[in-house]
Amino acid sequence: MKRERDDDFISLILVLTFCATIFFLFIGKGPAYAGEIITKYMIGGKEYKVEKIEGEPNNYMVYWGDETFKWEPYPYMQDCVIKEGPLFYDRWIKPGLKYPWDVSLEERQKWDAADIFKMAIYGSALWFGSREYEYAANHPSILWDAKGRERFDHRASCGKGYFQPEAVKSLPKEMQGVLGRKYFEIWYEPDEAAGMGLLDFSYLDGRPDDVWFYSPSVRKVRRFSEGSRQDFLPGSTYRNEDFVITRPLHKYKLIGTELRPPRLEYFGFPKCPQKNWTDEKPKRYAGEGQPCWVIEETPAKEPWWFSKHIRWINMKDINLSLSEAYDSKGRMIRWMVHSYFLPYPDKYPLDPNWQMWPVKDLNTGFMSFDPMGFGHQPGYPDSHFYYNEGMPESAWSPQELLKEHKKPLFWR
Partner 1 sequence: MKVKNIFLYAIGLTLVFFGIGSQSVARELAEGLRLTGYLKNETYLRLHGTPDHVMSSRNIVNFDINYNFPGTVPIVRRLFIQLRPFYDTVFDWENEGTGGARGGEIASGSIITLPPLQNRHIRDKYQDNFGEADDWDPLLRECWMDIKIGRKLDGRLGRQIVSWGRSDGIYLLDLINPFNYRNWSVFDEEDVKIPLWMVNLTYSFTAFNNLQLLVIPRYVPEYDAGDGHDWAPNVVRFVEEFYADPGAFFGLPGLFGQASVRFDEPDWQDPSNWEWGVRWGGMWKGITYSLNYFYTWSDIMSDYPQDPFGLVVKRNPNRISVLGGSFDYNFQNLLGLENLVIRGEMAYFKNKVFVTGDFRNREKDSIDYMLGFDKYFLVDYWVSLQLKQSWILDSPSWRDPFLGVASRLKQLLIIPGVGTFPIAEGFRDTVETAISLFIMKDYLPGDFLHTQWFLLWTHRGDWWFRPKVTYDWSKKFRTAIGFNFYWGRGYNTFGEWTKNDNAFFEVKYDF
**In this complex, which beta carbon is closest to partner 1, that of residue 54 or of residue 145?**
145
What are the DSSP calls for 102-138, one per residue? Answer: TS-HHHHTT--HHHHHHHHHHTSTTTTTT-SS-EEEE
**In this complex, which beta carbon is closest to partner 1, that of residue 147 or of residue 271?**
147
Secondary structure string (H, E, C) spanning 236-262 = CCCEHHHCCCCCCCCEEEEEEEEECCC
Q: Is 378 in the site for partner 1 (CB under 8 A)?
A: no
Q: Is 390 in the site for partner 1 (CB under 8 A)?
A: no
Q: How far apart are CA 344 and CA 137, in angstroms?
A: 13
Q: Is 104 in the site for partner 1 (CB under 8 A)?
A: no
Q: Which stretch binds partner 1 (CB under 8 A): 30-38, 47-55, 185-193, 324-332?
A: 185-193
Q: Around Cβ 282, how many Cβ atoms within 10 Å? A: 24
E strand or H helix at 4: helix 2-22
Q: Which of 225, 275, 329, 378 binds partner 1 (CB under 8 A)?
A: 225
Q: Please, which residues have CB within 8 angstroms of residue 409's CB and are 6 or more apart in sequence?
A: 136, 386, 389, 391
Q: Around Cβ 192, how many Cβ atoms within 10 Å? A: 11
**In this complex, which beta carbon is closest to partner 1, that of residue 31 or of residue 234?**
234
Q: Which of 40, 70, 83, 219 binds partner 1 (CB under 8 A)?
A: 219
Q: Is 210 in the site for partner 1 (CB under 8 A)?
A: yes
Q: Is 275 in the site for partner 1 (CB under 8 A)?
A: no
**In this complex, which beta carbon is closest to partner 1, that of residue 65 or of residue 381?**
381
Q: Which of 17, 21, 276, 399 binds partner 1 (CB under 8 A)?
A: 399
**In this complex, which beta carbon is closest to partner 1, that of residue 272 or of residue 402?**
402
Q: Which of 33, 111, 224, 266 binds partner 1 (CB under 8 A)?
A: 224
Q: Is 200 in the site for partner 1 (CB under 8 A)?
A: no
Q: How far apart are CA 372 and CA 358, in angstroms?
A: 12
Q: Which of 189, 280, 327, 389 binds partner 1 (CB under 8 A)?
A: 189
Name residue 252's amino acid: Y
Q: How far apart are CA 29 and CA 31, in angstroms?
A: 7
Q: Is 380 in the site for partner 1 (CB under 8 A)?
A: no
> Is residue 72 exposed (0-12), middle (13-18) or buried (19+ Cβ within 10 Å)?
middle
Q: Is 217 in the site for partner 1 (CB under 8 A)?
A: yes
**In this complex, which beta carbon is closest to partner 1, that of residue 79 or of residue 192?**
192
Q: Which stretch binds partner 1 (CB under 8 A): 24-32, 84-92, 100-108, 387-395?
A: 387-395
Q: Of residues 318-377, which lie at the interface with partner 1 (CB under 8 A)?
A: 361, 364, 366
Q: Of residues 226-265, which lie at the interface with partner 1 (CB under 8 A)?
A: 226-228, 230-232, 234-237
Q: Which of 40, 70, 83, 151 binds partner 1 (CB under 8 A)?
A: 151
Q: Which stretch binds partner 1 (CB under 8 A): 10-18, 33-41, 104-112, 401-409?
A: 401-409
E strand or H helix at 320: strand 320-326
Q: Which stretch binds partner 1 (CB under 8 A): 64-72, 155-163, 217-225, 351-359?
A: 217-225
- Of 380, 398, 412, whose CA–CA distance to 182 is shortest? 398
Could you tell me how many helices (H) and strands (E) the chain has, helices first? 6, 19
Residue 311 region by backbone torsions, left for phi larger than 0, else alpha for psi between -120 and 50, else beta: beta
Where helices occur in 23-147 by DSSP H, the ranges are 79-84, 105-108, 113-122
Q: Which of 51, 132, 153, 258 binds partner 1 (CB under 8 A)?
A: 153
**In this complex, which beta carbon is closest to partner 1, that of residue 97 or of residue 395?**
395
- If DSSP codes are grouped into helix, strand and coil, which group holds residue 188? strand
Q: Alpha carbon of 322 to those of 24, 64, 362: distances in Å?
A: 41, 18, 15
**In this complex, which beta carbon is closest to partner 1, that of residue 319 or of residue 383?**
383
Name residue 187's amino acid: W
Window 56-85: contact mask with partner 1 (x via CB under 8 A): ------------------------------
Q: Around Cβ 45, how many Cβ atoms within 10 Å? A: 9
List residues binding partner 1 (CB under 8 A).
143, 145, 151-153, 189-192, 194, 206-208, 210-212, 216-220, 222-228, 230-232, 234-237, 361, 364, 366, 392-399, 403, 406-407, 412
